Amino acid sequence: MVELLIVVAIILIIAAIAIPNLLRSKISANEAAAASALKTIGTSNILYSSLYNQGFAGTLAQLGPTGGSCATVSSGCADLLDSLLSGVSPPAPAPTKNGYTFTYASPSTSPTPTAPNSSYSAVATPAGPGSTGVSTFCMDGGNIYVIWRDTAGATTSASAVGCAGSWTPGGTVGPL
């Protein structure tokens, strides 16, 4: 009986050491997925701008697949992002994927060739701060290769002026 108690105690000690490491690994994976999703949004926006000659997309849904009121691939549904990240299915103005909530902002939600969107920003914030992620990420149309990171994980949303206009470098905020 004593031997069994010792074995159980050893298993509990090992579990107490392993579980926090597992949670940190999950948070790291979610953060990497969020940064990758922002790069995908940036690449999709560059392609959208090239295909439809109206600047950047007005909403994430415009970068998403066809469905509902948008039956064919067009500037209204360019099929450049998956349905979850674009907020098409399930319908969401701020979709959540891999533990992060994504917000998107541009000057106009309905760009045209005569009034194109020249800027946008996309922000990824942890859906469960401290459990699904720690850092907040931002990317804008100014440079799709720069992702800003706030290691404090501040809850913020996208701004039409972009990251540089609302996120000042220094402190806990800076390029990834």
For the cut 50, the answer to whether the pLDDT of residue 169 exceeds it is no
Stretch 37-60: mean pLDDT: 93
pTM, two decimals, is 0.84
- Tens of pLDDT, residues 77-95: 999 999 999 998 888 889 9
Sign of CA dihedral 144, 148, 149, 152: negative
Write down the domain spans for the chain. 2-175
d(CA 137, CA 153): 8
Q: Which pair of tokens denotes residue 65? A: 């697949």
State residue 14 phi and psi, 5-degree precision: -65, -40
The confidence score (pLDDT) of residue 171 equals 38
Q: How many beta carbons lie within 10 A of that of residue 112, not counting itself?
A: 14
The residue whose two tokens read 């060739």 is 113
Inform me whether the pLDDT recorded for 165 exceeds 60. Answer: no
With 0-12 CB in 10 A as exposed, 13-18 as middle and 19+ as buried, what is 150? buried
Q: Give the per-residue pLDDT at 60.
A: 93
